[in-house]
Structure 1
């Protein structure tokens, strides 16, 4: 091919070509729309497939006196019934502490705990049979709330404490002191695709499990331990999930283990697909938190001392409650410098579902507390909350002293000043504030509220060794490329981004790159796709593999066409080598004939991370993502109904790998976080049964809950940390943006008392909670 051919770019254009930073659609978008995307339940069932269901405890805390499973076995279609005694290996699926049995043994510890597995010819037969067991119990006292757990000193892990400076002395010097309490509820992940595992026995005692999971390696370990076989005999595969949000990080282990145990016994494929009600009854959710706080501040609202005690509802076992509590402690500061602090966190052991990871992983629960407190300080001083927030921001990057977190990490990438200033201007915050106050003065029933809240969110796993990833990249002789990496696709677009990175590195169009299913036999010892690290870690690993291939092909082209390797350019499927231009597939074919290796592995470990669990100090995060949002609401003070009128959000995605996907992630996170703080209420009755266990009783936001005016923009900012193409994570941090919705509702309620009274608004701010807050404000206003 001639280098002067009009079919190809100029060298200058080729050098500026890029596949990262482009607005590409999700790699499975068309398949989703056509209904052709294959999820675990869509995999064609192998001959002889059986179906399993779980027999669940109706008691919150009880000893099992006797179990009669004969009525279960007598049901139509039933093939087998198994209890913990039938597990060949370890009866445990706890991710950190081994306190979480796959099947209950002598006692049950929450309503919904699995006791046995029934296997039948069909899904419906298994579910009907699971209800026929005759089990006798001796009931025991149950602990159901975080406060009760604290009072009983019932914890799944020892309480944590982080201190800096001298909080006691700082309080004595403080001009003003604020004390209060706050309740923030939990949240159901409510993934569209429920928990499911499909286990197929293989030769020589092996097991292949198709599992909807964020953590294939953890599932591999759990299945191997349950079956008492080596990890190399277990393959976990996941092409995609229909949502996960943390609920399939550790919680998928129970379903994978149960399906595998049944398949191993019967030597037949077994599918275990949870009904929505069973799923919600069995699995853990976002931890609800109870706070008691004390804050010292001066006349300008500058925080001079901080003390907070956070108690979470951990559930009956440890699961991931310890790292969730750690992250809550590390995010209590949000965007604010705290000089003297005393932060305590307790994970209360309760007789409820074992709570687990959820988008944000404790970060939202830590940050919401200080935003609530700052809002309260501002109202006490008669100031705009935005001004108090600005007063307490971390110092700018060149400002020593006010740029160290309470856990000792230096904040070197702070852009919150510039980001908030841009949003304040673009959203016309000040003018809208005046207009809303004028509206409220003339409107006795409908009250509007406005709030601007910032976000600083650390990116990395709390546990340092999880911050690693591997990838494989194969170039086939037709020039097409296959990528396999350790991340899992749950709709967030990780495969699209990783493929973009590989396409960019090899200089080929994205359409020529495909991602295969995540598979423990391809990339071993992977970390969970969680903590917003999926694209960061796996993108870097895939880039490493593709860079090796780029170097090999570059060196081969230079040698073949008589130029320096640095003079070889790959762009848009074309190779420019000196005076020669040829297509990428042509070069690949020639390289194959010359026996150049056309596949490579890649690896990445995030540098510079450290964490001391005892002192709770270190550098747990590679960098911080920033953001802010302005929300405007209207509240009916007679009914508690409310509506979100307008949102302006500005998010720091660094050099975005894919702006279209990132904006979509911000929008989705915002609405999900809004649901947590406003409509999604988990409620257990006095017997410890979760009563909100289906769409009929648990209210997630719908289309009608989204604001008509929803403006999301990405802040222009190159990541100071050497992340993948200097981008920033966009999975979890935007979930904190809708703090502005909750505080806008609180602002509207405060107007009932002339903005002089802090409404005791709990989260979620349901209509009932709003009316309770309105009544409290009116009662206090009348008494003034």
Structure 2
């Protein structure tokens, strides 16, 4: 009733050279916001981040958020960015046939260099070595056997009249913003650990990553049993009284920011516990985690710490890169479409939990397939 993507109407004018290089793009975008504002005021900014993933040369736009008598659309994964990425690909796929060129060639020639990336995303680009989109594409070509499969598909299409196959690749560029994030870690008398963070678990693995970070950071105390802390860690749902300044959960950065807030808390606790641990080791030779915490309670060591992770303004934004290759088969008679293979490479930096991140990538693949299928029906 309230979910889904914002409907839009898009008109555009695009200029390009005979070699496929796009020189200018103007967009007129009308966003159907429904009867109430909801998340809609943020849509133009979200869309621009995804639209700029190609070097358009000169880019101009007019985005209007329209109040209508339709139901409002609430926030959904990457609100506005999915539509903007679709718009960018539609422009590329419009230019290519006008030049009798392969779509993938036109995509490749309009990818950003680092210099053009800096012009479109000033303040978010980082260092030249951090621009991994070209290397991602090179790796994806090899891992997906892109060119070999392209030739096989051409042969398949020549031999089949009513079934046709196609393959293409799409680059992904996602601008993220980090926000100040609070955290709180408390160690109970039985050695268990209670963690509270401002972020909300929405299926993105936030609590799993936070638990791992708490166990990892507290293990720095280096006492017996500290290496098995994961089972002792419990993440509880916080509210605005127990943990103020929680903010909102969005933008693909809440898990990482929450983990850093928890790490800062654990560092404070380790610093408080270390002198006691050293004294007990001198007396007993070795000290178990549970015994250390019990002694800390008896000696009135403060076993609760709060923090707020805040970055410098110069590092609040950064860019994430990825690319995907998909091969599909279409039944010309019925319109049935079958996805034969999808290959995805995403630069997620130093992953906190590769299994969770892999699951998120696979989840979003199917989520957007549903978006496109429902749009076409």
Find the aligned partners of 2:176 and 2:81 in 1 and give their Cα distance: 11
Kindly report the root-mean-square deviation, in angstroms, between the aligned alpha carbons of the 2 structures. Answer: 2.1
1:430 aligns with 2:144: no
Deviations 1:101-134 (A, max 9, x none): xxxxxxxxxxxxxxxxxxxxxxxxxxxxxxxxxx
Alignment of 1:276-675 (within 5 A): 280=1, 283-334=2-53, 336-396=54-114, 401-406=115-120, 408-412=122-126, 413-460=130-177, 467-507=179-219, 508=226, 509=228, 510-558=230-278, 561=281, 580-608=285-313, 622-675=317-370
- State the number of aligned residues: 366
Deviations 1:352-407 (A, max 9, x none): 112221100211122221122122223333333333222222224xxxx3232435
Deviations 1:648-682 (A, max 9, x none): 1112221111111111111111100111012x2xx
Q: Give the superposition deviation at 1:497.
A: 0.5
What secondary structure is seen at the aligned counterpart in 2 of 1:359?
coil
CA 1:581/1:560 → structure 2, altered by over 3 Å: closer, same or farther?
closer
Which structure is larger by alpha-carbon Rg, 1 or 2? 1
Q: Paired residue for 1:138?
A: none
Alignment check: 8 A CA contact 2:123 2:317 kept? no
1:765 aligns with 2:376: yes
Find the aligned partners of 2:275 and 2:90 in 1 and give their Cα distance: 59
Deviations 1:555-586 (A, max 9, x none): 43345557xxxxxxxxxxxxxx9x95422222
Alignment of 1:744-759 (within 5 A): none
Q: Paired residue for 1:677?
A: 372
Find the aligned partners of 2:108 and 2:285 in 1 and give their Cα distance: 58
Q: Give the superposition deviation at 1:410.
A: 4.7
Find the aligned partners of 1:380 and 1:414 in 2 and give their Cα distance: 31
Find the aligned partners of 2:263 and 2:213 in 1 and give their Cα distance: 6
Deviations 1:580-634 (A, max 9, x none): 542222222222222211111121134326xxxxxxxxx8x62122111111111
Q: Decide which moves more: 627-636 or 528-537.
A: 528-537
Q: Paired residue for 2:223?
A: none
Alignment check: 8 A CA contact 2:175 2:317 kept? yes
Q: Paired residue for 1:257?
A: none
Work out which structure has the larger RCO, using CA pairs closer than 8 Å and 6 or more positions apart in sequence: 2
Q: Give the superposition deviation at 1:534.
A: 2.1
Alignment of 1:268-283 (within 5 A): 280=1, 283=2
Q: TM-score, length-normalised on structure 2?
A: 0.91
Alignment check: 8 A CA contact 1:439 1:448 kept? yes
Q: Give the superposition deviation at 1:312.
A: 0.9
Alignment check: 8 A CA contact 1:484 1:515 kept? yes
Find the aligned partners of 1:298 and 1:548 in 2 and give their Cα distance: 59
Q: Give the superposition deviation at 1:435.
A: 1.1
Q: Give the superposition deviation at 1:431.
A: 1.0
Structure with greater proportional helix content: 2
What secondary structure is seen at the aligned counterpart in 2 of 1:331?
helix
Find the aligned partners of 1:405 and 1:512 in 2 and give their Cα distance: 48
Alignment check: 8 A CA contact 1:502 1:513 kept? yes
Find the aligned partners of 1:657 and 1:338 in 2 and give their Cα distance: 35
Alignment check: 8 A CA contact 1:478 1:588 kept? yes
